[in-house]
Amino acid sequence: MNKAQIYASRTDVMFQCPTCDTTFVYEDEILPTEVPTYHTCEKCNLPLFIEPLSVHVGFKKLKSDKKKPKTGEDYYKIAQDHIKLEKAAKTIIMSYGFTKSQVDAAREYCWQMHLINTGDSLEEVVKNIIANID
């Protein structure tokens, strides 16, 4: 996609008299840019000093809302963490008196039925496996 370019800009600047709060507008064509100028307030006839102005247009870099794609190392780390989680769950469940074959069969069933996911906590994994032991 091509970026749009600024073709023209219009700048109106409002000033205010410090004594009577009367406002006046300088449009783009008469806006002082190099030398200061004076303006006489229409209400109180006070001469007002107006400094030269310059307008700078800057563009902000937009932050991308997209998540960075996962690399093979990210998937490997997720898998290793889940393997450690399952080993801990297996140890806990076997400490309750269940056999290794019962725990393995229930774990496999939970994986096939998508009852265990990679983001689950240890507590959820243990609960789901115990609930599916025959």
Domain segments of the chain: what residues?
13-50, 72-131
Could you give the CA distance from residue 103 to residue 2 in angstroms, rounded to a whole number? 58
Cα three-residue angle 22-27-28, rounded to 5 degrees: 150
For residue 65, name the pLDDT band (cuts at 50, 70, 90).
low
Q: Does the pLDDT at position 2 exceed 80?
A: no
pLDDT digits over 45-64, tens only?
A: 888 888 887 767 677 777 76
Q: Which among 77, 80, 134 is positioned nearest to 107, based on CA atoms? A: 134
Could you give the CA distance from residue 39 to residue 59 in angstroms, rounded to a whole number? 33
Q: Is the dihedral of CA 67, 70, 74, 78 positive or negative?
A: positive
DSSP-assigned beta bridge partners for residue 77:
none
Does this model's pTM top 0.75? My answer is: no
pLDDT digits over 4-50, tens only?
A: 776 666 777 888 888 888 888 887 777 777 888 888 888 888 888 88
CA contacts within 13 A on the Cβ side of 68 = 4
Tokens of residue 115, six digits = 């009852």
Could you give the CA distance from residue 76 to residue 51 in angstroms, rounded to a whole number? 63
Taking a C-beta distance cutoff of 8 angstroms, is the pair 17, 41 a contact? yes
What is the number of other CB atoms lying within 10 angstroms of the CB of residue 126? 19
